[in-house]
Amino acid sequence: MRTGLLLPHFGVHADAQTIIEGSKLAERLGFHSVWVRDHLLFEPHGEFEKPNETFFEALTVLTAVGAATERLVVGTGSLIPFRHPLIAAQTVATMTQFLGPRVVIGMGTGNFDHEFAAVGLGGVTRAELVIDNFDIMRRIWRGETVSWHRPPFEFDDAKIAPLPAGEVPLWFCGNTPRSARIAAEHADGWMPGRIGIDTLRKRVDTLAKVAADFGRPHPNVGIIPPTSIDKTHEGALAKVNVDGLLKWANNARFWVKPSSGRFETADDLRGALVYGTPDEVVEQCLELRDAGVDDLVFDFRLSFDEWEDQIALIGEEVLPHLS
């Protein structure tokens, strides 16, 4: 299982130097990847984090981090399809020319209708929009001359150069049953973000079945759970807005619920929350690995004010037990 970090490129602690220095530290400590979220017109939703409208553009952040490091894979979890796919294809191909073949593009349907309306995509069926983006980008990256005549895109004889320096994996992001089916049919990977471990196991079974039905390889599985680590169990839990996370989990329509029928405790959030002492975090990480996770991306948004300390504690006391 590979390990990564969600970058602090959003919220009250977003800071360019912090992002760069933390990424360099992560590379030295043996992390495999760093990841970003994506929004255009961000509306903070603070169920379990401090709301703040600051949001650095996703691909710009990854380009800067890639230029400051040598081997870290840089990924989007997820890129929202409010960019025209030809622009996205050219941008990503250019990134690989500078960084090499270490870019992963996870793309999802997004949460906010107003972002799509602002760029003329209001009312578009967004899952199909992602699938069309995948099709257009893959064909462009193969060097094809592409014409497209299905709304919302209309163009003829499009071709770009240079092509990507190596393969660019495309992952579908989302945690619903349909997201797993789309990933199995159309993507190289599936990234649900936050997801409870029982729901994760169910979705991984779906991935395997649908991929086999279509004669495709099993997609890579990556998750991004909120993470809090401390020398003590109590110290780690103190950084977590458990009530906010429980509210969020109980509103997740397609999740497998605990036997009580509701998420009621921090332990009920297993998989959707990684927290505790280094030994406890190791145990939870290994459980996620056994459930089918290939890329575990730690989300420290609950303690971005301790960004480098959290990276160091995971890197020094957890990663050695996961190799």
Whole-number CA gyration radius for the chain: 19
State the pLDDT at residue 46.
59
Q: How many domains does the chain have?
A: 1
Tell me which residues of the chain have a pLDDT lower than 70. 45-49
Q: How far apart are CA 18 and CA 244, in angstroms?
A: 26
| Amino acid identity for residue 313 in this structure | L
Q: What predicted TM-score, i.e. pTM, was given to this entire model?
A: 0.96
Q: Which residues contact 212 (CB under 8 A, 6 or more apart)?
A: none
State the pLDDT at residue 53.
87
CATH number at residue 190: 3.20.20.30
Which domain range does residue 219 map to? 2-321
Q: Whose CA is closest to 228, among 124, 313, 142, 101?
A: 313
Residue pair 151/174 in contact by the 8 Å Cβ criterion: no
**Per residue in 244-276, pLDDT tens?**
899 999 999 899 999 999 999 999 999 999 999
